[in-house]
A and B are shown apart, each in its own frame.
Chain A
Amino acid sequence: MSFLSLTDADRAAMLATVGVETVEELFRDIPEAVRLRAPLALDPALTEAQLAAHLAELASRNTHTGDELSFLGYGIYDHYSPAVIDVLLARGEFLTAYTPYQPEMSQGVLQAIFEYQTAICELTGLAVSNASGYDGCTVAADACFLAAHHTGRSKVVVAETLHPMVREVVATFAPGFGMEVVTVPASGGVVDGAAWAAACEGAACAIFQTPNVFGILEDGPALAAAANACEALPVAHVDLLSLGVLEAPGAYGCAIAIGEGQSAGIPMSFGGPHFGFMAARADLVRRMPGRIVGETLDSESKRAFVLTLQTREQHIRREKATSNMTTNQTLIALAGWVTLCWYGPQGLRELGELLMGLSAEVAVKAKAAGYEVAFPGTTTFKEVALRVPGGGNAEEVTRKARALGVNPGVPLGHDFAGLAYVLLVAVTEKRTPDDIAELAEVIGQCS
């Protein structure tokens, strides 16, 4: 077995040193009643070559982005993954390292995380970032836990235009935190401002998404102001790739910014592993969940990096920890950081402008094919919600379109009652105006 090096001679020598006759004796503390005496009922071992063939066969039974022209989005996007992230991911010193608890062995990972934290703070306009959370859904639950402890309040306000999956995860964890969740309805594709302001009364935090689940830009400053007026923590769920053209949440009064980092060049991979990010105001630092890297000096006054404020975390504070999180998503977050460095500020700005232009192009071309925008009078970032002509079923459209080699988007009927006629079309920098013309052509035929 190629992963094991023990030979019979090794085994004999080692058993002699331990002072037992057989390997079986090493397990003598295990009561017989719980000993497994038959082999595990698993398929026989494969050689590496056999395994490679088996996995390739499984992979071949999945339709991937090379097989069809895809406009799927809804939280996970077919963005370009720059090749330079392989430089990071292929290095065993990153890939196979543990959490950097021994800083002298881990200055590479620690400095990389420090640089990642800096990038997240720059993009969100907030003072402190952690080293990542699990994904864009769980960081919302993290924000609720933080807000509950900071404010002593037990109400969470969420916008209906916050992705349903994010809201579902918040709803799973909120009761354990002793919190109840109030959802503020949408009106015309954005959260209803008056209802939002009323709901913020007595809330620990209020979470909105911009661009929202329909791809539409919310009035973040107004939403944050309304939450602040009630001393609820405003939490913005944002897209890292939008923050080259959209204002930083910290600049317009948000206490916390969170989101899903997959857009930053991380392969879609059927939903994971990706990374969640979280940044917060300076006064919230001691309540932050997750790892945080800080700068310090060594004994010779050389700059060095170390996990700091570990007293927040589970291994020290145990039942009073700011979170139970240990393993997070470090390697993926660092790949996202490399992507952000690859674009730089100018590239990020150009990317944001391109995405807005392409989503507007979808609206224009789709209109010519009979598909109106579902929420007129709004500005989109990289997704646009379209009405199927005549109120037809969006799922039917996607079924027919896929047969013509185009996956036109996500039908919203499953998650939004009354929106079965709405198709959510996402664009990325991998989609060209010609692709959009083809999309319009195909969905025009399928309605």
Chain B
Amino acid sequence: MQLIYEKSVPGRRAGTVPAYAGLARPAVPAGLGRAAAPRLPEIAEPDLVRHITALANRNFGIDTGFYPLGSCTMKHNPRLNERAANLPGFANIHPAQSEESVQGALELMWRLQEILREVTGLDAVSLQPAAGSQGELTGLLVMRAYFADRGEDELRREIVIPDTAHGTNPASVVMAGYEVVGIKTDARGNVDVDDLRAKVGPRTAGLMITNPSTLGLFEENIHEIEQIMHGAGALMYYDGANLNAVCGVSRPGDMGFDVVHINLHKTFSQPHGGGGPGGGPIAVRGLLDPFLPKPQIVRDGDGAGALYRLDHDRPKSIGKVRGWTGPFGVFVRSYAFIRRYGPGLREMSEAAVLNANYMLARLRDAYDVPYDRLCMHEFVISARTLKKEHGVTATDVAKRLMDFGYHPPTVYFPLVVPEALMIEPTESEAKETLDAFCDAMLEIAREAASDPAAAKAAPVSRPVRRLDEVLAAKKLVLRYAFADHPDLAAERAAASA
């Protein structure tokens, strides 16, 4: 398929710009004017539409089929939420408008804050962070401000993180100016409590974990972990990536966590958009409230006379972590999603956990299962034996699944399980979908023994075959270079000639 630049023909255009007779044409000061026009595509609207459509036809979303990416929570995205976000009263409002002219927006945000407080079991919420990892960094900065306020920031320089942690956790820790201390995982897939006890002390600012973990397992020793951390005067951070397992079942605040981030694009159905936008609000225990980003959305009065406003008067706040009050369009969608469930969010989590356990039960004999426990909303299996006996790796299984019409699960994460496949069905899937996927996985395992070449050659049915990722890393072609654009196919042919 051609790039849009390759379809460009000089003189064509789609959009028009108004012109007014007699309007001034101020000159751009010398030295500041554009010398060479940017080479944007010159294309008329019908061909632009066709190009976008052709691209869509080469992609795959939840709307297309089953998408069991572990830790991503690929659930149904209701279309009412799109309609709502596009209402003029939500889409066409400016963040600098006076507060009395946006009471509906402020109320929606306030209500979302209240919902998140209830779901997490904590006291105060900031909706500002733009994504989960920004929520992590914000939460860490809030923790730092708390300790600085108590004169302990110089002393407490470490955050403890399990070796199963999502890569964003150590990255966020470093960006917050802390040091990472790693904690081992025990044979049951829990945080190794003895290792934790040995590594936590006066230099510890906090613990950062996901619960259930990235292995899809609930921390059985959460009480003991809480005792160790709070006993050392440290705080507990909850990575909310796996919140879909426990809504209405167990709350991070009740588990002892002091700071939580929520991924609105995971648990609460903000569409993933091919990589964003998302939302990463944080909820905190009351003692951390003063340090939250500003402004906060507050309500004065209640009932019909309630007034919503932005509170900038927060002297201990860490400041702003992004522009304005956060991704409002994301709040509309998440709020709408939650209002369809109400307290029934619990049924959502129960269905997610049942779906995952069902799949695990169907797959456990054909694949290696590293931890012999019930899982929560996701589980990890391994292609270790398939690799050892037939040379078929987790990558090969993933590519072969594409030919069966599925998006593969997450592979090679978490790092503690070799040849890992992490599968999260979510609550959105019907039993027949789960059965068909499991049938495909069992077929692939059988085929690995009888015909390993099939998996190695996969995929055969997608717009492209397996890609040369080494070439992409060695020869960096990161934009279209027009007349100077390299011909990679010709170079490869010449090299092998």
B368 at the interface (CB under 8 A from A): no
CB-contact partner of B94 in A19, A70, A109, A338, under 8 A: A70
B35 at the interface (CB under 8 A from A): yes
B454 at the interface (CB under 8 A from A): no
Q: Find out whether the CB atom of A42 lies under 8 angstroms from the CB atom of B118.
A: yes
Instruction: Give the residues in chain A near B275, CB-CB below 8 Å.
Output: 98-100, 109, 113, 131-132, 291, 327-331
Q: Which of A366-384 contact B (CB under 8 A)?
A: 379-380
In the assembled complex, 18 residue pairs joining A and B whose CB atoms fall closer than 8 Å, in A order, are: A10-B430, A23-B353, A26-B353, A27-B249, A29-B218, A41-B343, A46-B340, A51-B339, A55-B87, A84-B48, A268-B91, A269-B327, A292-B478, A294-B476, A319-B170, A344-B43, A345-B40, A346-B37
Interface stretch, picked from B198-206, B315-323, B381-389, B443-451, is: B315-323
Q: Find out whether the CB atom of B361 lies under 8 angstroms from the CB atom of A1.
A: no
Instruction: Give the residues in chain A near B492, CB-CB below 8 Å.
Output: 297, 301
Q: Find out whether the CB atom of B38 lies under 8 angstroms from the CB atom of A122.
A: yes
Q: Closest Cβ of chain B: how far from A111's Cβ, in Å?
A: 6
- A42, B346: Cα distance in complex, Å: 11
Q: Is the interface of B mostly helix, strand, loop or mixed?
A: loop
- A318, B171: Cα distance in complex, Å: 5
Q: Find out whether the CB atom of B94 lies under 8 angstroms from the CB atom of A76.
A: yes
Give the A-B pair count, Cβ closer than 8 A: 695
Given A14-B431, A102-B407, A271-B324: A27 and B14 interface contact (C-beta under 8 Å): no
Q: Find out whether the CB atom of A410 lies under 8 angstroms from the CB atom of B96.
A: yes
| Nearest B residue (CB) for A120 | B479
| Chain A 311-328 interface 0/1 with B at a Cβ cutoff of 8 Å (1 = within) | 101111111110111111
A128 at the interface (CB under 8 A from B): yes
Q: Find out whether the CB atom of B324 lies under 8 angstroms from the CB atom of A308.
A: no
Interface stretch, picked from A172-180, A191-199, A200-208, A227-235, is: A172-180
Q: Closest Cβ of chain B: how far from A397's Cβ, in Å?
A: 13
CB-contact partner of B472 in A82, A106, A306, A433, under 8 A: A306
Interface stretch, picked from B23-31, B230-238, B282-290, is: B23-31
Q: Closest Cβ of chain B: how far from A147's Cβ, in Å?
A: 14
Chain B residues with a Cβ closer than 8 Å to the other chain, count? 203
B303 at the interface (CB under 8 A from A): no
- A28, B376: Cα distance in complex, Å: 10
Instruction: Give the residues in chain A near B223, CB-CB below 8 Å.
Output: 31, 33-34
Q: Find out whether the CB atom of B42 lies under 8 angstroms from the CB atom of A54.
A: no
B370 at the interface (CB under 8 A from A): no
4 closest cross-chain pairs (CB), A and B: A92-B63, A271-B324, A59-B89, A331-B273
B309 at the interface (CB under 8 A from A): no
CB-contact partner of A40 in B98, B103, B118, under 8 A: B118
Interface stretch, picked from A215-223, A385-393, A439-447, is: A215-223
CB-contact partner of B134 in A134, A245, A291, A294, under 8 A: A134
B176 at the interface (CB under 8 A from A): yes
- A143, B231: Cα distance in complex, Å: 39
| Chain A 133-148 interface 0/1 with B at a Cβ cutoff of 8 Å (1 = within) | 0111110000001000
Q: Closest Cβ of chain B: how far from A283's Cβ, in Å?
A: 12
Instruction: Give the residues in chain A near B471, CB-CB below 8 Å.
Output: 296-297
Q: Find out whether the CB atom of A65 lies under 8 angstroms from the CB atom of B92.
A: yes
Q: Closest Cβ of chain A: how far from B277's Cβ, in Å?
A: 4
Q: Find out whether the CB atom of B59 lies under 8 angstroms from the CB atom of A48.
A: no
A405 at the interface (CB under 8 A from B): no
Q: Find out whether the CB atom of A13 lies under 8 angstroms from the CB atom of B42.
A: no
19 more A-B residue pairs beyond the given contacts A63-B102, A96-B61, A131-B275, with a C-beta to C-beta distance below 8 A: A40-B346, A45-B343, A51-B339, A60-B89, A94-B56, A99-B272, A119-B40, A269-B329, A271-B327, A298-B468, A302-B465, A302-B489, A308-B469, A314-B171, A315-B168, A316-B167, A328-B131, A341-B41, A357-B24
Residue among B92, B136, B479 having the largest count of chain A Cβ atoms under 10 Å: B479
Q: Which of A1-59 contact B (CB under 8 A)?
A: 1-6, 10-11, 13-15, 17-20, 23, 26-31, 33-36, 39-48, 51-52, 54-59
Q: Which of A318-365 contact B (CB under 8 A)?
A: 318-321, 323-332, 334, 338-351, 353-354, 356-358, 360-361, 364
Q: Find out whether the CB atom of A348 lies under 8 angstroms from the CB atom of B473.
A: no
Q: Find out whether the CB atom of B33 lies under 8 angstroms from the CB atom of A246.
A: yes
Q: Find out whether the CB atom of A108 lies under 8 angstroms from the CB atom of B56.
A: yes
| Chain B 246-282 interface 0/1 with A at a Cβ cutoff of 8 Å (1 = within) | 1111110011000000010100000111111111000
- A272, B492: Cα distance in complex, Å: 44
Q: Find out whether the CB atom of A51 lies under 8 angstroms from the CB atom of B80.
A: yes
Q: Closest Cβ of chain A: how far from B484's Cβ, in Å?
A: 12
Q: Find out whether the CB atom of A82 lies under 8 angstroms from the CB atom of B271.
A: no
Given A13-B431, A176-B175, A269-B93: A354 and B87 interface contact (C-beta under 8 Å): no
CB-contact partner of A98 in B67, B329, B353, B373, under 8 A: B67
- A44, B93: Cα distance in complex, Å: 29
Instruction: Give the residues in chain B near A318, CB-CB below 8 Å.
Output: 167, 170-171
Q: Find out whether the CB atom of A298 lies under 8 angstroms from the CB atom of B465.
A: yes
A72 at the interface (CB under 8 A from B): yes
Instruction: Give the residues in chain B near A135, CB-CB below 8 Å.
Output: 130, 322-323
B342 at the interface (CB under 8 A from A): yes
Residue among B62, B74, B274, B360 having the largest count of chain A Cβ atoms under 10 Å: B274
- A311, B355: Cα distance in complex, Å: 34
| Nearest B residue (CB) for A145 | B175
Q: Find out whether the CB atom of B37 lies under 8 angstroms from the CB atom of A111.
A: no
CB-contact partner of A55 in B220, B249, B336, under 8 A: B336
- A272, B325: Cα distance in complex, Å: 8
| Nearest B residue (CB) for A89 | B82
Q: Find out whether the CB atom of B88 lies under 8 angstroms from the CB atom of A61.
A: no
Q: Find out whether the CB atom of B177 lies under 8 angstroms from the CB atom of A137.
A: no
Q: Find out whether the CB atom of B93 lies under 8 angstroms from the CB atom of A64.
A: yes
- A243, B38: Cα distance in complex, Å: 8
CB-contact partner of B329 in A2, A115, A119, A272, under 8 A: A272
Q: Find out whether the CB atom of B18 lies under 8 angstroms from the CB atom of A429.
A: yes
| Nearest B residue (CB) for A260 | B323
Given A61-B104, A134-B134, A247-B32: A96 and B361 interface contact (C-beta under 8 Å): no
- A438, B336: Cα distance in complex, Å: 39
- A27, B354: Cα distance in complex, Å: 10
Q: Find out whether the CB atom of A273 lies under 8 angstroms from the CB atom of B327.
A: yes
Given A34-B254, A132-B276, A324-B175: A93 and B133 interface contact (C-beta under 8 Å): no
Q: Find out whether the CB atom of B321 lies under 8 angstroms from the CB atom of A169.
A: yes
B350 at the interface (CB under 8 A from A): yes
Q: Which of A212-257 contact B (CB under 8 A)?
A: 217, 219-221, 243-248, 251
Q: Which of A146-195 contact B (CB under 8 A)?
A: 165-166, 168-169, 171-173, 175-178
Q: Find out whether the CB atom of B29 lies under 8 angstroms from the CB atom of A379.
A: yes
CB-contact partner of A272 in B248, B323, B399, under 8 A: B323
| Chain B 298-340 interface 0/1 with A at a Cβ cutoff of 8 Å (1 = within) | 0000000000000000000011111111111110100010111
A413 at the interface (CB under 8 A from B): no
Given A65-B92, A72-B97, A270-B325: A102 and B318 interface contact (C-beta under 8 Å): no
Q: Find out whether the CB atom of A172 lies under 8 angstroms from the CB atom of B33.
A: no
- A322, B248: Cα distance in complex, Å: 37
| Nearest B residue (CB) for A130 | B478
Instruction: Give the residues in chain B near A95, CB-CB below 8 Å.
Output: 61, 63, 77, 82, 271, 273
Q: Find out whether the CB atom of B144 lies under 8 angstroms from the CB atom of A26.
A: no
Given A106-B274, A145-B175, A354-B18: A76 and B134 interface contact (C-beta under 8 Å): no
Q: Find out whether the CB atom of B323 lies under 8 angstroms from the CB atom of A11.
A: no
Q: Find out whether the CB atom of B37 lies under 8 angstroms from the CB atom of A272.
A: no
CB-contact partner of A271 in B108, B140, B326, under 8 A: B326
Q: Find out whether the CB atom of B248 lies under 8 angstroms from the CB atom of A40.
A: yes
- A172, B464: Cα distance in complex, Å: 44
Q: Find out whether the CB atom of A221 lies under 8 angstroms from the CB atom of B220.
A: no
| Nearest B residue (CB) for A107 | B58
- A418, B48: Cα distance in complex, Å: 49
Q: Closest Cβ of chain A: how far from B491's Cβ, in Å?
A: 9
Q: Find out whether the CB atom of B63 lies under 8 angstroms from the CB atom of A93.
A: yes
B52 at the interface (CB under 8 A from A): yes
Q: Find out whether the CB atom of B373 lies under 8 angstroms from the CB atom of A29.
A: yes
- A90, B49: Cα distance in complex, Å: 12
Q: Find out whether the CB atom of A344 lies under 8 angstroms from the CB atom of B340.
A: no
